[in-house]
Structure 1
Amino acid sequence: MKSVTTIHTDQAKRIAKRLLNHWKHKFEVAETEQQFSIFMPDATVILSAQVDALDVHLDTEREDFTFLEKVVIDHLNRMAQQEFDVQWTHQA
């Protein structure tokens, strides 16, 4: 399942970098100037920083992908120190 959402923020790069640093001790990570990747055992999270938004791409084969969506957003909320209201779109 592929899940995608966009978080509107002017702090996209900072938030993505904080989450990458938070999870780098548990998972393999990679980063470029605008893209931050987190490779979990059963999922990949790609954070793409835009000027005024953070694009979040989640790719997993897990049946409980909604739980993983919640984990990612909860962590992004913590890193940003604010609550984001997001709507995920899904692709099989």
Structure 2
Amino acid sequence: MTLTANVPTTNASRYLQQLCKHWSHKFETEFDAQKGRIAFPMGSIRMAAEAETLTVTIEPEEGADIERFKQVLADHLDRFAFREAPLSFDWR
């Protein structure tokens, strides 16, 4: 199962990089200014930054608490995006 959300923001690249740097101390991460990946025990997150949108895709492991996974991601992104939080996630 894969879930994707398009998060409207003009700071997508900045948030992507902040999130990856933040979690790089605990988890395997790969990122540049346009894309990133974080490997969590419960699954992985992929992100892509565009001018007006941060596209976030989660790929949970079988048995993972998907709602918790989405909430952890949203909470951390909102912390970095405090000036425009809460960000809007349209999961599909």
Q: Do they fold alike, i.e. is TM over 0.5?
A: yes
TM-score (norm 2): 0.89
2:90 matched residue in structure 1: 87
Give the distance between the partners of 2:30 and 2:58, measured in 1 at CA: 15
RMSD of equivalent CA atoms:
1.2
1:6 matched to 2:9? The reply is no
Higher RCO, Cα 8 Å, sep 6+: 1
Give aligned-pair identity as a percent.
29
Paired letter, 1:85: S
* Alpha-carbon distance, 1:32 to partner: 3.2
Task: Please identify runs of 4+ aligned residues in structure 1 that moved more than 6 A.
Answer: none
Summarize the Cα distance change of 1:42–1:9 in structure 2 as closer, same or farther, 3 Å threshold: same
2:76 matched residue in structure 1: 75
* Alpha-carbon distance, 1:73 to partner: 0.8
Give the distance between the partners of 2:48 and 2:87, measured in 1 at CA: 16
Give the distance between the partners of 1:14 and 1:32, measured in 2 at CA: 10
* Alpha-carbon distance, 1:31 to partner: 1.2
Q: Is the 8 A contact 2:7 2:90 kept in 1?
A: no
* Alpha-carbon distance, 1:83 to partner: 0.8
Structure 1 gap segments, 5+ residues each: none
Structure 2 gap segments, 5+ residues each: none
